[in-house]
């Protein structure tokens, strides 16, 4: 079993809770909280997402409670509460933006005069300098509110970090600005007006607050995918109660209620059509633009749009059980998860701040005692510049912002990644294993041939076989039963029935013992079938699935069905091969039928006559060869193989089973989403690497430049603030990428 499967199995043993965290300022904060939560007895796994400001914790409810987790986060110096609904989170985001806006405006008003004094000091500017601006106590009056009111969150965060034996961005900002402020205060008290750096501390804080404001605005855009999905939900539903049609809020709909949907209206909840026919636009969930025809007995999905007919359907899933609600949860969980590549940033952030403080101290010592001996001012400036330029905010945002945007874009295209780790793994794939029935083919075979090889007529043979097959849920069995019904054949009663996976079935009908299935089945039961071999091969060469029928221990005939290839399969497989991927088809069908289907779609590598339990072994075989394997199936009978693969992809329409079984769910229901998913993974990973490069570039270049005295503190502050913004904006580029 793969590591991913073990993790999923382990996580299912506990319960999961999402917590809103307040007060995180950089990756070091997220790392510290994550480590703290993982140390708690009873916590199975904890992930902290800086961008979402959220912790996702899997825990043992017998050992620990959510209240204990919240208290632990508070003990570490941060605010925590249970995760809120999207609407409430949107309100929180607005409050956060408003908070930063007020801080920035006040800070800017107080800092601009100080900035003017700094610029006017340069004689070449020719700026007029009012005398009162040069008064040290006036500058002190402007800088003090910025330092201790606007800058108070930095002091509070630094205190809590140090109290807990760690360091974060707040420590760097508090140290750097305090050094400039208190040095200037001491000079003011001594009457030395030539050595004031009030503008340095005030402008640094103003620029950092501006960066936080821009970051909050940009981060709000990263969660637009969730907002769009939430916006798809219908607000009201027309239900039939006491024989009357009434309109009620969708939240009040109950399972089993009869709902009427008119042309142009949204289908409010999931259900089964009871009467009426129409075409339904499901593009908002599947990405498929062609409307889907609906008739009695067909399922409908909440939030899709009824196009041209009146549908009456019975509600089967409401509220959080609907397909859309499940999709929103999958996307939220994926955006809150951590991709393996983020471990690089986490490790760096965990040791980064203490190292930077040590470098700043070393820079001060070298400048004060050696490079420019006795020049305290210059040594202090360079040390402050090192502290400020090194803030690891951008490093913490580099991965989660791209994961958020990438998984959100996938959802818009009908591709649901269950977590960031699967989005990352997809770009490494080099082998795609495709199940045949329902994946390459439509999975809706039709009865094509009834060949009798005994004294039974075709009608008698079909009646016996269809009667036996009506007890089976296998698509081939359903095709035979449907074929008999279309021929107006009345079915008899089954006295006994046994499904034999991978072989066929055994049944007793009208006191006759029937065997219907593969050559292996008849071999096992010692029934000769050599006389049917040539005819079987002819049918199989035509791409049909031929089944032998034995009655009372003697060969009686052949039943053949054909499952047609999906229109998009050949083109999608060609695209996968163009990407350099090895494509393998796996099926329980015999080799001739498999080869006929494979030839139609351009596949050369085939695994035929594979029993359901052996599919996982076939996937394991490819993995042992060092290949990165994706298994693509229907998410139900292929579950073991899906779980064994590096990435399991379920073809489906967002059902519970499909989402549960696979790492990726392809809502569109065809293979064209597979190359799209892989390309999206490649684009996202490229974006993450760009972000990590720029985040590390700022620090690796900025620290040496600041250390040698070529970077003024206020310039360092501006660079630090905009490094975070640039990372978020670069992640947002994924929204516009065409795949």
Q: Alpha carbon of 626 to those of 340, 431, 623: distances in Å?
A: 19, 10, 5
Angle, CA 503 vertex, CA 497 and CA 505 arms, to 5°? 15
pLDDT at position 225: 62
Q: What is the mean pLDDT of each run of 10 residues along the chain (739 residues)?
A: 39 77 82 90 90 87 93 90 68 83 95 80 60 87 96 89 78 84 88 78 85 76 66 88 92 94 93 94 70 90 90 93 81 75 74 87 95 90 85 76 88 86 94 90 86 93 94 83 92 89 89 93 93 90 89 95 88 96 90 88 93 87 96 77 90 58 83 95 94 84 91 77 81 86
Closest CA to 674 of 302, 417, 350, 307: 417
Closest CA to 33 of 67, 62, 66, 57: 57
Exposed/middle/buried for residue 137 (C-beta within 10 Å: 0-12, 13-18, 19+): exposed
Give the pair of three-digit tokens for residue 712.
């003024």
Angle, CA 687 vertex, CA 684 and CA 688 arms, to 5°? 90
- Tokens 């959510």, residue? 66
Give the pair of three-digit tokens for residue 326.
């499940």
Query: What are the φ and ψ backbone dihedral angles of 457, each rounded to 5 degrees?
Result: -75, 165
Give, for 354, the enclosing helix (H) or strand (E).
Answer: helix 342-366
Q: Which of 333, 346, 435, 449 is catalytic?
A: 435
pLDDT at position 636: 59
Closest CA to 344 of 583, 695, 710, 60: 695
d(CA 550, CA 453): 10
Give the pair of three-digit tokens for residue 295.
């008739």
Contact 647, 681 (CB under 8 A): no
pLDDT at position 103: 94
Q: How many CA atoms lie within 13 A of 709 on its CB side?
A: 12
Q: How many other CB atoms are there within 10 angstroms of residue 236's CB atom?
A: 15
Give, for 509, the enclosing helix (H) or strand (E).
Answer: strand 504-509
Contact 445, 545 (CB under 8 A): yes
Closest CA to 563 of 582, 539, 583: 539
Residue-wise burial string across 278-289, b where 16 or more C-beta atoms lie within 10 A, e elsewhere: bbbbbbbbbbbe
Largest CA distance in the chain: 120
d(CA 171, CA 321): 45
Q: Alpha carbon of 42 to those of 11, 65, 71, 250: distances in Å?
A: 12, 9, 15, 38
d(CA 201, CA 182): 10
Closest CA to 674 of 524, 553, 546, 568: 568
What is the Cα gyration radius of the chain?
33
**Residues facing residue 278 across a β-bridge:** 294
What are the respective helix, strand and coil percentages of the chain, to the nearest 5? 55, 20, 25
Q: Alpha carbon of 556 to those of 340, 474, 482, 513, 589: distances in Å?
A: 58, 22, 21, 12, 21
- Tokens 């089976």, residue? 472
DSSP per position, 77-126 = T-EEEEPPPHHHHHHHHHHHHHHHHHHHHHHHHHHHHHHHHHHHTSGGG-
Give the pair of three-digit tokens for residue 483.
């074929």
Q: What is the pTM of this model?
A: 0.73
d(CA 564, CA 561): 10
**Is there a catalytic annotation at residue 321?**
no
Q: Alpha carbon of 562 to those of 251, 522, 545: distances in Å?
A: 44, 21, 6
pLDDT at position 2: 40
- Tokens 């394991």, residue? 620
- Tokens 């991913």, residue? 4
Contact 427, 678 (CB under 8 A): yes
Q: How many other CB atoms are there within 10 angstroms of residue 455's CB atom?
A: 7
- Tokens 């892989």, residue? 678
pLDDT at position 654: 42
Contact 447, 483 (CB under 8 A): yes
d(CA 120, CA 636): 73
**Alpha-carbon dihedral sign for residues 156, 158, 162, 164:** positive
Q: How many other CB atoms are there within 10 angstroms of residue 404's CB atom?
A: 29
Q: How many other CB atoms are there within 10 angstroms of residue 558's CB atom?
A: 21
Query: What are the φ and ψ backbone dihedral angles of 344, each rounded to 5 degrees?
Result: -60, -50
Exposed/middle/buried for residue 39 (C-beta within 10 Å: 0-12, 13-18, 19+): exposed
d(CA 367, CA 733): 42
Closest CA to 397 of 44, 50, 18, 89: 50
Give the pair of three-digit tokens for residue 702.
């900025």
- Please state at what angle helix 198-222 crosses helix 713-732, rounded to 10 degrees: 0
d(CA 477, CA 440): 19
* DSSP 3-state of 241: strand
């Amino acid at each position: 079993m793969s590591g991913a499967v073990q993790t999923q199995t382990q996580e299912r043993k506990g319960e999961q809770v999402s917590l809103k965290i307040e007060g995180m300022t950089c990756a070091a904060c997220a790392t510290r909280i994550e480590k703290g939560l993982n140390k708690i007895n009873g916590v199975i796994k904890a992930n902290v997402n800086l961008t979402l400001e959220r912790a996702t914790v899997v825990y043992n409810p017998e050992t620990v409670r959510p209240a204990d987790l919240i208290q632990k986060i508070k003990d570490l110096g941060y605010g925590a509460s249970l995760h809120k609904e999207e609407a409430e989170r949107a309100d929180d985001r607005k409050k956060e933006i408003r908070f930063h806006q007020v801080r920035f405006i006040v800070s800017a008003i107080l800092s601009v005069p100080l900035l003017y004094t700094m610029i006017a000091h340069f004689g070449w500017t020719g700026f007029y300098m009012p005398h009162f601006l040069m008064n040290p106590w006036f500058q002190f009056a402007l800088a003090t509110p910025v330092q201790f009111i606007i800058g108070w969150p930095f002091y509070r965060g630094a205190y809590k970090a140090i109290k807990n034996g760690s360091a974060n961005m707040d420590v760097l900002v508090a140290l750097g600005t305090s050094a400039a402020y208190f040095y200037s205060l001491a000079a003011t008290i001594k009457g030395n007006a030539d050595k004031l750096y009030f503008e340095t501390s005030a402008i640094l804080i103003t620029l950092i607050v501006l960066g936080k404001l821009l970051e909050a605005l940009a981060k709000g855009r990263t969660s637009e995918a969730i907002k769009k999905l939430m916006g798809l939900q219908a607000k009201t539903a027309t239900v039939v109660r006491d024989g009357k049609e009434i309109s009620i809020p969708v939240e009040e709909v109950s399972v089993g209620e009869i709902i009427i949907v008119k042309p142009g209206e949204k289908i409010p909840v999931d259900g089964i059509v009871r009467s009426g026919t129409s075409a339904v636009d499901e593009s908002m969930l599947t990405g498929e633009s062609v409307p889907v025809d609906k008739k009695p007995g067909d399922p409908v999905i909440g939030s899709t749009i009824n196009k041209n007919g009146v549908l009456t359907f019975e509600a089967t899933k409401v509220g959080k059980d609907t397909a859309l609600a499940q999709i929103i949860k999958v996307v939220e969980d994926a955006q809150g998860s951590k991709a393996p590549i983020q471990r690089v940033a986490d490790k760096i952030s965990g040791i980064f701040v203490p190292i930077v403080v040590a470098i700043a101290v070393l820079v001060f010592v070298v400048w004060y005692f050696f490079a420019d001996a006795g020049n305290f001012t210059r040594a202090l400036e360079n040390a402050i510049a090192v502290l400020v330029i090194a803030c690891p905010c951008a490093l913490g945002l580099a991965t989660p912002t791209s994961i958020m945007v990438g998984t959100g874009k996938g959802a818009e295209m009908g591709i649901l990644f269950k977590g960031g780790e699967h989005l990352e793994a997809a770009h490494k794939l080099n082998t795609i294993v495709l199940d045949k029935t329902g994946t390459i083919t439509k999975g809706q075979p039709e009865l094509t041939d009834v060949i009798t090889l005994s004294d039974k007529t075709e009608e008698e043979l079909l009646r016996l076989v269809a009667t036996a097959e009506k007890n089976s849920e296998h698509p081939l069995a359903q095709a035979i039963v449907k074929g008999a019904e279309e021929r107006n054949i009345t079915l008899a009663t089954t006295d006994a029935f046994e499904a034999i996976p991978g072989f066929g079935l055994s049944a007793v009908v009208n006191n006759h013992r029937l065997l219907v299935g593969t050559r292996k089945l008849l071999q096992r039961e010692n029934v000769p079938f050599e006389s049917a071999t040539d005819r079987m091969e002819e049918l199989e060469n035509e791409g049909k699935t031929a089944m032998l029928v034995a009655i009372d221990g003697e060969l009686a005939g052949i039943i053949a069905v054909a499952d047609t290839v999906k229109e998009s399969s050949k083109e999608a497989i060609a695209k996968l091969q163009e990407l350099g991927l090895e494509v393998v088809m796996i099926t329980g069908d015999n080799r001739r039928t498999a080869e006929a289907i494979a030839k139609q779609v351009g596949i050369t590598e085939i695994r035929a006559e594979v029993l359901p339990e052996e599919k996982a072994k076939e996937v394991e075989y490819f993995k042992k060869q060092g290949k990165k394997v994706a298994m693509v199936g229907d998410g139900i009978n292929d579950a073991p193989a899906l779980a064994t693969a590096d990435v399991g992809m379920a073809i489906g329409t967002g059902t519970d089973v499909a989402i549960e079984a696979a790492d990726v769910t392809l809502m569109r229901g065809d293979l064209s989403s597979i190359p799209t998913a892989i390309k999206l993974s490649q684009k996202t990973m490229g974006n993450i690497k760009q972000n990590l490069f720029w985040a590390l570039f700022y620090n690796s270049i900025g620290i040496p430049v600041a250390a040698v005295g070529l970077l003024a503190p206020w310039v360092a502050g501006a660079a630090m603030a905009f490094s975070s913004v640039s990372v978020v904006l670069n992640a947002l580029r994924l929204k516009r990428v065409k795949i």
